[in-house]
Each structure stands twice: as structure tokens, then as C-alpha cells.
Amino acid sequence: MQLGIDDISFATADRYLDLATLAPVHGVDVDKFRIGLGQDRMSVCAADEDVVTLAAAAAQPLVESLSAAELRTVRTVLLATESGIDQSKSAAVYVHHLLGLDPACRVVELKQACYSGTAALQTALALVARNPEQKVLVICSDVARYELDSPGEPTQGAGAVAMMISADPRLVVIEPASGLHTADVMDFWRPNYRSTAVVDGRLSIRAYLDTLKAAWLDYQDQGGEPFASFDAFCYHQPFTRMAVKAHAHLTKVVGQPLDAASAEAQVADTLRYNRVIGNSYTASMYIGLVSLLDHSERDLAGARVAFFSYGSGAVGELFAGVVRPGYRDHLRTAAHQELLERRREVDHAEYLRLYDVPNPTDGGDHPVPAQTSGPFRLAAITGHQRVYERTAQSAVDGIARAAASAPAATTTATTLPAAG
Ligand code: CAA
């Protein structure tokens, strides 16, 4: 029985900051961000967006494409995040409600920095292996925040990805072998009392690369496929240049070293969306997969893709997937493209206002201004409760999707900046 990703979709914040706006504030040439980090823009959440609204927006098209009978087979929702909105209640429960999913469902949130989306995926595969008639909805959703004026600031971003995991998947079969590595490293973390991450940037890059090597070696010990059998490589992308560094590093580990330019060419299609979204922590590697599927001019049917998922702290997993024939008929390329084009650019003053959006803790009644053009919004924080609602855009998106449901989009997204 083949198991894997049957459907995939991403969402991002309503606004973005061009890193050309941030470069003079940091007193650096914009090429430090565009070339040195491989980032052009970063998504910025409106006041009424958070991991719940992004997650629901990413999953809405998947849910709306299922019949009522198929929806009842979605008996598990797993939401991975490291920027959760509650220490106790899962963000997934809010999302389950906003999407109108069946109450006969197990719903939970997972955490281990940027890695936990992969833990969710592997858990989902195990659940479907036991109950092949069921589907599992896996969502990764994060808002990446660093201190203003810190080296991490240009690597912020926000995004969510939703994946329907099933037997006989239409997009990517996930193979059983996995290479694993865990080590207790203080490279990046966020204590409960902070809204921004604490990070040792240089150590985090070292830890990422060490974890990649260890996970690859374990993957080989577990009977994984040889390096030469891979057609594409998809890495966690805290900034897209990190994927290029990682790929060059892996080629050295396997004894087939590549220079940076050649390494970049081999991962270029996985970088295109993240270059303009920024870091989306748990979602970033899977947005990289969407980018590869949406942009590859070559038909990837039968191609084996290596995935390296990294979560600071640190846990890494290296695994493989094989793209299914006919996958292009089930992509959502046009919707992803439109989503990115719909974002509104903010200037530095508006970015600062949104960075400092109040997070009231007094239990009072705090309506949140309506700002997002996305399908879901945070309407209020009242009596210590977060109140979410659908927006008018939710119905518009649903109608547009229904009208566009056949034939499925297969266009190549060409209007985004090219990688590199
Ligand atoms: N033109 C072109 N390139 C330039 C340039 C210019 N004018 N000026 C500088 N550069 C290059 C530098 O040479 C450097 O390239 P190399 O790394 O290849 O040497 C690159 O731009 C970055 O420059 P610095 O090293 O000076 O950058 P920095 O000190 O400002 O910080 C960073 C970089 C450490 C990544 C920082 O952005 C950071 O702390 N980010 C957050 C942590 C992070 O993303 N870590 C990644 C691994 S951890 C992880 O993956 C989990 C996660 O999601 C966070």
C-alpha cells in the first residue's frame, strides 16, 4: 500500500515588507539580504492574522474539495507550530471549528521548533497505514519573529501549509525509510515569557549542518536510497540561502562536492515561494515542496525527492518521497500565485505598527480591527478568549475555487522573482 500526500495548499499573511526597505534601516547593502540570505520579501501579519487564521486559510481549499462522505473520513487533524496562541488549548481545535469539520475527530497540536510538521506527517502516515480508508489533515503554521534590528529580523515571515495524507495519494508517495538525529543544542528557542526567539545564529547554522550529516548517515543505515537516486532535494529554509549551503554540504558528505552555484541550481525550484514569504518555521520545507511542484518545467512524475526537516534544539529527519504520475492535474498553482500577488506591501512605519500589535492580557473586551483580506480573522480577544470568524473573502474564495475546479491549474508560476 502506498501512503503519502494527496493534496497540498499554502497560505501566507496579507502583507509583506520588501527587504529593500529594511536594508537601509540595518545600514547594509540590500544584496546582503537578497544574495547573502537569499530573501527578497517577508510576509507580515495583519493585526487580525495569526497561526490559526493562516492554518484555516491553508486548509480551506482541501476541505472544500471533499464530498460530505469523504470529509467524514478525516478523523484526525494534526497542527504543527512553534508560535502557538495558547499553552493548553490546541490551535488545531479552533481550525477544526472554523473549517466545520466532523466532531468525530482527534485534534492536537505538536511542537519541536520547525521540525514538528514532519513529526505530524509521520504520525499521519502511521495512522493511515492502520486505517487506510481514513485521511489525516496535517497543517503546519507559523509566524517567525525576531527582535527588531537583530540579525534575524530579515529572516522573519509567516505562512501555513495544509496536506491531506491518505492511501494511494495523488501527489507524493512518502517512502518508509527515515534518517533521524536529536541533540540537545541551544541554537534557537523561545521561553514562554518572550514573543521573539532567542538565537545564536552561527551555532544554529552549524547545528543545522551537523544534523543534516547525521540524519543522512542514519538514513543510509536504515536502508535509504543512494544519493544518485535522487532527482530533487527539498530542505528546511529559514532563509533560502541555507538550503543552498545545506545542499553543498550534503554533496561533500557523500563525496561528490558541488560549488555554491551548482548546488543552487539543484534546489532552485524549491526556493521560489520562500524567497518572497520568508521563514514560516514548520511550514517552510513543505512550502518548498509546493514551490518545486508548481515551478518545475520538467514533469516530475516518478522523481524521487529528498526532504530534510530541521528543528532547532535540535531534531532532524531525512526522508524521501516519489512524485506520482498525473500530479500536475491536482496542483493549486494559480491559487498560490494569486495569493502572493494579492498581498499588500507595507512601508517601514506600518511594519513597525504591526510588529507591535497589542497582545492584551487583562481579560477585558478587545475588538481587533478588520484588516486581512484572507478568509479568516481574529475578531476579538475578550475575557481571555480569542474569537475567530470567517470573512466575506471566505465565501468568495470558495466560489472562485468551485468555478475553477475543472480542469485543475497546471500553469507554471512565472511572475515570481527567479531564485538566485
Ligand atoms: N552582498 C552579498 N552577500 C553579502 C553581502 C553583500 N553586500 N553582505 C554580506 N553578505 C553575505 C555574507 O557573506 C554571508 O554569507 P555566508 O554565510 O555565505 O558567509 C551572508 O550574507 C550573511 O551575512 P552575515 O553572516 O554577516 O549575517 P548575519 O550575521 O547578519 O546573520 C544569520 C545571518 C545568522 C543567518 C541571521 O540572519 C540569523 O540569526 N537568522 C536566524 C537564525 C537562523 O535562521 N538560523 C538558521 C539555522 S536554524 C533553523 O533553520 C531553524 C529556524 O528556522 C530558525
> What pairing do the DSSP bridges indicate for beta strands 74-80 and 198-199?
unpaired
> Which percentage of the chain shows pLDDT scores above 70?
94
What's the CA angle centered on 170, arms 167 and 175, to 5 degrees? Answer: 60
Mutate to test the pocket of ligand 1, among 118, 204, 309 (most ligand atoms within 8 A of CB): 204
CA of 187 to the centre of ligand 1 (A): 14
CA of 33 to the centre of ligand 1 (A): 8
Question: Which residue's CA is minimally distant from atom 23 of ligand 1?
Answer: 36
As a whole number, mean pLDDT of residues 202-225 equals 98
pLDDT score of 379 more than 60: yes
Q: Is 238 touching ligand 1 by the criterion CB < 6 Å?
A: yes
pLDDT band at 259 (very low <50, low <70, confident <90, very high): confident
pLDDT score of 405 more than 90: no
- What 3-state DSSP class applies to 216? helix
- What 3-state DSSP class applies to 170? coil
pLDDT at 413: 32
pLDDT band at 31 (very low <50, low <70, confident <90, very high): very high
pTM comes to 0.94
Sign of the CA dihedral running 255, 257, 262, 266: positive
pLDDT at 392: 84
The residue written with cell numbers 475567530 in the block is 388
pLDDT score of 402 more than 60: no
Mean of pLDDT over the chain:
94
Strands (E), 324-418: 344-345, 365-367, 376-382, 385-390
Question: Which residue's CA is minimally distant from atom 19 of ligand 1?
Answer: 36
Interatomic CA distance for residues 356 and 195, integer angstroms: 10
CA of 229 to the centre of ligand 1 (A): 31
Interatomic CA distance for residues 402 and 396, integer angstroms: 10
Q: What is the DSSP string of 16-75?
A: EEEHHHHHHHHTS-HHIIIIII--SEEEE--TT--HHHHHHHHHHHHHHTS-HHHHTTEE
Q: What is the DSSP string of 264-313?
A: HHHHHHHHHHHHHHB--GGGHHHHHHHHHHHH-SS--TT-EEEEEEEETT
pLDDT band at 265 (very low <50, low <70, confident <90, very high): confident
The grid cell for 363 is 481579560
Catalytic site includes residue 236 = yes
Kindly report the number of other CB atoms within 10 A of residue 149's CB atom.
11
Residues sharing a CB contact under 8 Å with residue 336, sequence separation 6 or more, in sequence order: 9, 10, 273, 290, 294, 413
The grid cell for 197 is 526567539
CA of 308 to the centre of ligand 1 (A): 19
Catalytic site includes residue 114 = yes
- H/E segment holding residue 10: strand 3-12
As a whole number, mean pLDDT of residues 189-204 equals 96
* CA-154 nearest atom, ligand 1: 37
pLDDT score of 340 more than 60: yes
pLDDT at 410: 29
Interatomic CA distance for residues 92 and 108, integer angstroms: 6
Q: Is 34 touching ligand 1 by the criterion CB < 6 Å?
A: no
